[in-house]
Amino acid sequence: MALLQISEPGQSLDPHQRRVAVGIDLGTTHSLVAAVRHGVAECLPDEQGRVILPSVVRYLEASAGGSGRQIGFDALAAQVDDPANTISSVKRLMGRRRDQVVDVDKLAYTVVEDSGMAQIDTVAGRKTPMEVSAEILATLRYRAEDSFADDLFGAVITVPAYFDDAQRQATKDAAKLAGIEVLRLINEPTAAAIAYGLDHGAEGVYAVYDLGGGTFDISILRLTRGVFEVLATGGDSALGGDDYDQALAAWVLQQQGIAADSLDASARAALHKEARRVKEALSAAPQENFRAMLRGRVVEQTVNVADFEACTEALTARTLSAVRKALRDARIAKNEVQGVVMVGGSTRMPVIRRVVGEFFGTDPLVDLNPDEVVALGAAVQANALAGNSKDGDLLLLDVIPLSLGIETMGGLVERIVPRNSSIPTARAQDFTTYQDGQTALALHVVQGERDLVADCRSLARFTLRGIPPMAAGAARIRVTFTVDADGLLSVGAKELISGVEASIDVKPSYGLSDEQIAKMLQDSFSTAQQDMAARALVEARVDGDRLLVATRSALAADGDLLAADERTTIDALMAEVQARLGSEDAAAIEAASEALAKGTEGFAALRMNRGIQQALAGKKLEEV
């Protein structure tokens, strides 16, 4: 597919006519705004020189006066004292119903279901996730306008590759509330790849490993003729840097012989805050002192990198199993991946860089700041879309993942926009009536790669009425499919002789989950799919088996560390893995292995503790 050229050659604007166009990374934990200045993308700082804006909004009681809310660092600082009105991680609520939000009951604020969406109750009233996000976006908009002393022309906003239509629409709505013109939504991994200039590099397959604060995303992209196609996405929406903090905090408590459930919420919050600080320090130093006030006494603990890596090992391993799964879904062997882009603050942890490098057998790309890389790539796109870039600069375009077509006689599909067409696109095709005197034509819009309507997904139906009665085959009905740059489809039908028309907006690809898309693609190559399932099963069995062997030997060595009930729990988890190994269900085996891995985390910490004590016991004091 040839690239569409958006800026006319020779029509680039004078420097003083440049439009202010920015890229915005609207993150779960942090958000950033970046722009191209003097030909280079850079993140824009606030008045205090900080480029990161915590994605946190605190609502104050209306009677308290002032603006009624705090945004960013101020809100973050207030979170410990006012958790119920301080909204963090609102991205997880965007475009979701309450029952679709993972672990919604664990959030410190109250989420209710209202008007078909998750909303938040605060002292300042009920807020939609779009309103909360709009506060963050508006803050970044003002930052950009202040820094250029000009109005914002528009922004490219990034979203996770797996965001569905509702989540993308919610993001656009939030931008609208913030008074921002959305030039385009682009996928976060695509933005990261653009920031590294991979779009100008060798064609091939790239992986984007994004470990943020609360989520892990892995994307496998294929670059062909300058266009990135998302081959597969995966990850874990409940695994991120926060979990590393938790694991470290739990380890410290264990070292100190403090029971976690003896702590109140504010002590726990203080503990996690300190754990996070220590974790981040350990990315640059071999050891760090953990210091927190717990139950009126100062708790101190020296933590070295080896302790930290050991108590978080299971988390790191979970990211790699998600990588393996995404590669399987994309049907790509890991040695076919020619570059790995690291994104997200948590990829600063040296252990992550090391294991990812070992896994792919190639050094990951880490030259750009992992917090900034998504915003920087979005800025490059925004600059080009605003017409600021140099002559001949081409734009990367997304492609549609599944073909779009309409139903014709006999339940067959006439494909109008083929899969992998770059967007935006418009295609038309002429049809006619099949009965004498027919005055209406029912149109059925479908999506998929199969030839029978029954095997494709139905997107929409509408009817063109008012066709003047003619002989069968005389009417000329032109059906036009238009897919805009955000992947939203509209379909129009017009009878060319009489001029009557009808149209409808439909939501194509993004209404499907990535799994559904993957499945529909797989079904069109059914034999290959069986191979894949077989491979997944073999891998799940091998992994489960390996875990059982490791657990058994740990129990043989240090089983005496466990209380009887803890031992019973682990035995039950092992029995479950053992039982699943014989089944044909790879997912069930993986789930059982996962449960065992999680269930033995505490035991692993106890063992490590003993190991350290034994090591120390063997030495004289002066050697320590």
Which part of the chain contacts Mg ion (CB under 5 A), choosing from 27-35, 91-99, 568-576, 590-598? 27-35
3-state SS, one letter per residue, for 486-530: CCCEEEEEEECCCCCEEEEEECCHHHCCHHHHHHHHHHCCHHHHH
Residue 95 binds which entry of Mg ion, ligand ADP, none, with Cβ cut-offs from 5 to 8 Å by kind? none
54 binds Mg ion (CB under 5 A): no
Residue 92 binds which entry of ligand ADP, Mg ion, none, with Cβ cut-offs from 5 to 8 Å by kind? none
Among 129, 160, 189, 212, binds Mg ion (CB under 5 A): 212
Report in angstroms how near the CB of residue 27 gets to Mg ion at its nearest. 4
**What are the two backbone dihedrals, phi and then psi, of residue 60, each rounded to the nearest 5 degrees?**
-105, 160
Report in angstroms how near the CB of residue 343 gets to ligand ADP at its nearest. 7
Tell which residue, 587, 585, 574, has the closest CA to residue 546. Answer: 574
Report in angstroms how near the CB of residue 215 gets to ligand ADP at its nearest. 6
Residue 241 binds which entry of Mg ion, ligand ADP, none, with Cβ cut-offs from 5 to 8 Å by kind? ligand ADP
Q: Which is nearer to ligand ADP, 83 or 511 (CB)?
A: 83
Residue 125 token pair? 């009233």
Q: Which residues between 388 and 447 bind Mg ion (CB under 5 A)? A: none
Report in angstroms how near the CB of residue 53 gets to ligand ADP at its nearest. 10
Grouping H, G, I as helix, E, B as strand and the rest as coil, residue 178 is coil
| Buried/exposed 74-111: b ≥16 CB within 10 Å, e otherwise | ebbebbbebbebbbbbbbbbbbbebeebeebeebbbeb
214 binds Mg ion (CB under 5 A): no
Grouping H, G, I as helix, E, B as strand and the rest as coil, residue 534 is helix
Report in angstroms how near the CB of residue 405 gets to Mg ion at its nearest. 36
Q: Which helix (H) or strand (E) holds 71?
A: strand 69-71
Report in angstroms how near the CB of residue 26 gets to Mg ion at its nearest. 9
Q: Which is nearer to Mg ion, 27 or 508 (CB)?
A: 27
Catalytic annotation, pick one of 46, 165, 173, 188: 188
Residue 364 binds which entry of Mg ion, ligand ADP, none, with Cβ cut-offs from 5 to 8 Å by kind? none
Q: Which is nearer to ligand ADP, 23 or 240 (CB)?
A: 240
Q: Are 385 and 6 in contact (CB under 8 A)?
A: yes
Which part of the chain contacts Mg ion (CB under 5 A), choosing from 176-184, 190-198, 210-218, 293-301? 210-218
Grouping H, G, I as helix, E, B as strand and the rest as coil, residue 611 is helix
**What are the two backbone dihedrals, phi and then psi, of residue 194, each rounded to the nearest 5 degrees?**
-65, -40
**What are the two backbone dihedrals, phi and then psi, of residue 243, each rounded to the nearest 5 degrees?**
-70, -30
Residue 160 binds which entry of ligand ADP, Mg ion, none, with Cβ cut-offs from 5 to 8 Å by kind? none
Report in angstroms how near the CB of residue 213 gets to ligand ADP at its nearest. 4
393 is catalytic: no
Residue 69 binds which entry of Mg ion, ligand ADP, none, with Cβ cut-offs from 5 to 8 Å by kind? none
Residue 394 token pair? 């081409």
**What are the two backbone dihedrals, phi and then psi, of residue 133, each rounded to the nearest 5 degrees?**
-65, -35
Cα separation, 155 vs 158, whole angstroms:
10
Report in angstroms how near the CB of residue 318 gets to Mg ion at its nearest. 18
Residue 38 token pair? 């003097």
136-383-6 Cα angle (round to 5): 125
Q: Are 570 and 603 in contact (CB under 8 A)?
A: yes
Q: Which is nearer to ligand ADP, 315 or 456 (CB)?
A: 315
Q: Hunting for tokens 């003097």 — which residue is that?
A: 38
Q: Which is nearer to ligand ADP, 7 or 283 (CB)?
A: 283
Any alpha helices (H) in 102-227, and if so which ranges?
129-148, 165-177, 188-195
Q: Which is nearer to Mg ion, 173 or 217 (CB)?
A: 217
27 binds Mg ion (CB under 5 A): yes
181 is catalytic: no
- Cβ within 8 Å of residue 74, ≥6 positions away: 58
Residue 604 token pair? 């692993």
Report in angstroms how near the CB of residue 9 gets to ligand ADP at its nearest. 37
Residue 486 binds which entry of ligand ADP, Mg ion, none, with Cβ cut-offs from 5 to 8 Å by kind? none
Catalytic annotation, pick one of 210, 242, 398, 543: 210
Query: Residues touching Mg ion: how many (CB under 5 A)?
Result: 2
Q: Which is nearer to Mg ion, 53 or 548 (CB)?
A: 53
Residue 339 binds which entry of ligand ADP, Mg ion, none, with Cβ cut-offs from 5 to 8 Å by kind? none
Q: Which is nearer to ligand ADP, 135 or 242 (CB)?
A: 242
Report in angstroms how near the CB of residue 191 gets to Mg ion at its nearest. 10
Residue 30 binds which entry of ligand ADP, Mg ion, none, with Cβ cut-offs from 5 to 8 Å by kind? ligand ADP
Position closest to ligand ADP via CB: 241
The DSSP line for 362-381 is: SPPB-SS-TTTHHHHHHHHH
407 is catalytic: no
- Distance of alpha carbon 448 from the chain centroid: 24
Q: Which is nearer to ligand ADP, 223 or 248 (CB)?
A: 248
Ramachandran assignment for 38, one of left (phi > 0), alpha (psi -120 to 50 degrees), beta (any other): left
Cα separation, 236 vs 320, whole angstroms:
11
Cα separation, 405 vs 487, whole angstroms:
15
Chain residues binding ligand ADP by CB under 6 A are 27-30, 212-215, 240-242, 276, 279-280, 283, 344-346, 348-349, 371
Query: Angle between the 586-599 and 526-558 helix axes, to the nearest 10 degrees?
Result: 20
Q: Which is nearer to ligand ADP, 255 or 347 (CB)?
A: 347
The CA-atom distances, in angstroms, between 523 and each of 221, 404, 433, 520 are: 21, 16, 32, 5
165 is catalytic: no
Catalytic annotation, pick one of 46, 91, 127, 229: 91
Q: Are 3 and 365 in contact (CB under 8 A)?
A: no
Residue 349 binds which entry of ligand ADP, Mg ion, none, with Cβ cut-offs from 5 to 8 Å by kind? ligand ADP
Q: Which residues bind Mg ion (CB under 5 A)?
A: 27, 212
* Active site positions, annotated: 25, 91, 188, 210
